């Protein structure tokens, strides 16, 4: 049995990057309009938090009483007006007046050089593996801006000395995000329209991200079957995580507020979330090519992209290898013990417990002392 290649879609802030880039993007506007009186970014942020607290205080049911996925998704969609007001507040203040492509490019290059924007380790390896095997890669974000994201990725690939960057072209990464229009009004774009009222809206909520992901999948256009893998870190990713064939949460050793909120939401809703190293043959058998595995709303977590690169998601499904239940079981049971890097596409799988571990600590070990 073999598996199709991957359609990998990544959230941006906190997933592909290690933290939010929104303050850095806002600074582009302040630098461009340095001679104009503007409200501070803290003022804009505080107003957003005030709106959010007010909405939360009157929304029913409250978080502690939301125990179904439908209830949680309804709550997330109810935040649309809070997000819209925040966008309009920045536009009315004129923060992004006269901002152009050159300003965005320069800010992206400087942010990478200064280290104020950090991309997660092994992201090039992950993206390269997917693209080289005929898969597709996309980025979707509720943040600003798509152009900034493209310049960050382009600059990072050009500066990278990793062999893994071979074949990685930013033009092949489909980026969908809100964008700065700039000009005399300093507006942000509106990605699509909502409902019969034809009210323009940006990518603001979890449901918006799901709609964008649906668009990306529908536009694959080459007739190839792919496994949809979505990676995110916050509750705005919840709907996409649940809808994907493989949903993966990013959790740092020291969790961000967004990561903790997502973890608590999953726990409250009773959605299983295991470390990706535990994905074994039973899960791999369940993929149908499009849609959820048959075990239901179960998703996975990883501390970054290293574990994902080593997991069966990329190395078995992504490379379309013939399915070997015994080998997949050995891989999934020993990823937490082995020190060796995950084998490349052309090498034979050969894992053993590390030399300093003469007897494997895993009670399920198929062969004590290691796998050969």
Q: Are 200 and 193 in contact (CB under 8 A)?
A: yes
Q: pTM here?
A: 0.82
Per residue of the chain (372 residues), give pLDDT as tens.
456 788 999 999 999 999 999 999 999 999 999 998 999 999 999 999 999 999 999 999 999 999 999 999 999 999 999 999 999 999 999 999 999 999 999 999 999 999 999 999 999 989 998 888 888 999 999 998 999 999 999 999 999 887 778 888 999 999 999 999 988 888 888 887 655 555 578 999 999 999 999 999 988 777 777 788 999 999 999 999 999 988 999 999 899 999 999 999 999 999 989 888 887 655 655 554 444 443 445 689 998 888 787 776 665 444 444 334 433 343 344 333 333 333 333 223 333 333 333 333 443 333 333 333
Q: Are 86 and 51 in contact (CB under 8 A)?
A: yes
pLDDT at 93: 94
Backbone phi and psi for residue 176, each to the nearest 5 degrees, phi listed first: -125, 115
Indicate the SS3 state at residue 182: strand
Q: Give residues with Cβ within 8 angstroms of 169, minimum separation 6.
A: 131, 157
pLDDT at 52: 97
pLDDT at 240: 96
Tokens linked to 270 = 């009773």
Q: How many CB atoms lie within 10 A of CB 174?
A: 17
Q: d(Cα 43, Cα 155) in Å, to the nearest integer? A: 32
Q: Are 28 and 99 in contact (CB under 8 A)?
A: yes
Q: d(Cα 27, Cα 47) in Å, to the nearest integer? A: 18
pLDDT at 308: 80
Q: Are 87 and 204 in contact (CB under 8 A)?
A: yes
């Amino acid at each position: 049995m073999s598996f199709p290649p991957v359609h990998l879609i990544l959230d941006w802030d906190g997933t592909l990057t290690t933290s939010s880039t929104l303050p850095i993007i806002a600074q582009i506007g302040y630098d461009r309009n340095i001679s104009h009186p503007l409200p501070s970014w803290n003022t804009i942020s505080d107003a957003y938090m005030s709106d959010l607290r007010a909405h939360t205080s009157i929304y029913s049911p409250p978080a502690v009483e939301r125990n179904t996925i439908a209830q949680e998704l309804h709550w997330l969609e109810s935040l649309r007006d809070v997000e819209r007001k925040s966008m309009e507040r920045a536009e009315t203040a004129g923060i992004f007046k006269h901002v152009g492509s050159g300003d965005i490019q320069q800010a992206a290059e400087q942010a990478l050089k200064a280290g104020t924007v950090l991309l997660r380790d092994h992201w090039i390896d992950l993206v390269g593996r997917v693209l080289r095997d005929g898969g597709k890669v996309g980025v979707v974000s509720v943040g600003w801006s798509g152009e900034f994201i493209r310049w960050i990725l382009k600059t990072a690939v050009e500066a990278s000395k990793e062999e893994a960057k071979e074949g990685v072209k930013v033009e092949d990464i489909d980026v969908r995000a809100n964008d700065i229009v700039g000009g005399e009004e300093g507006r942000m774009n509106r990605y699509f329209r909502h409902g019969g009222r034809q009210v323009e809206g940006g990518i603001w909520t979890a449901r918006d991200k799901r709609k964008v992901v649906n668009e990306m999948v529908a536009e694959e256009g080459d007739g190839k079957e792919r496994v949809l893998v979505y990676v995110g870190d916050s509750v705005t990713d919840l709907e996409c995580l649940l809808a994907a064939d493989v949903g993966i949460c990013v959790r740092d050793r020291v969790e961000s507020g967004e990561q903790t909120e997502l973890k608590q939401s999953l726990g409250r809703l009773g959605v299983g979330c295991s470390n990706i190293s535990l994905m074994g043959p039973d899960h791999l058998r369940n993929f149908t090519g499009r849609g959820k595995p048959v075990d239901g709303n179960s998703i996975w977590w990883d501390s970054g992209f290293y574990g994902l690169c080593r997991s069966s998601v990329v190395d078995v499904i992504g490379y379309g290898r013939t399915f070997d239940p015994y080998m997949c079981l050995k891989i999934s049971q020993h990823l937490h013990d082995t020190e060796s890097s995950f084998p490349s596409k052309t090498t034979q799988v050969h894992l053993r417990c590390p030399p300093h571990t003469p007897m494997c600590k895993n009670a399920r070990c198929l062969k004590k002392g290691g796998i050969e």
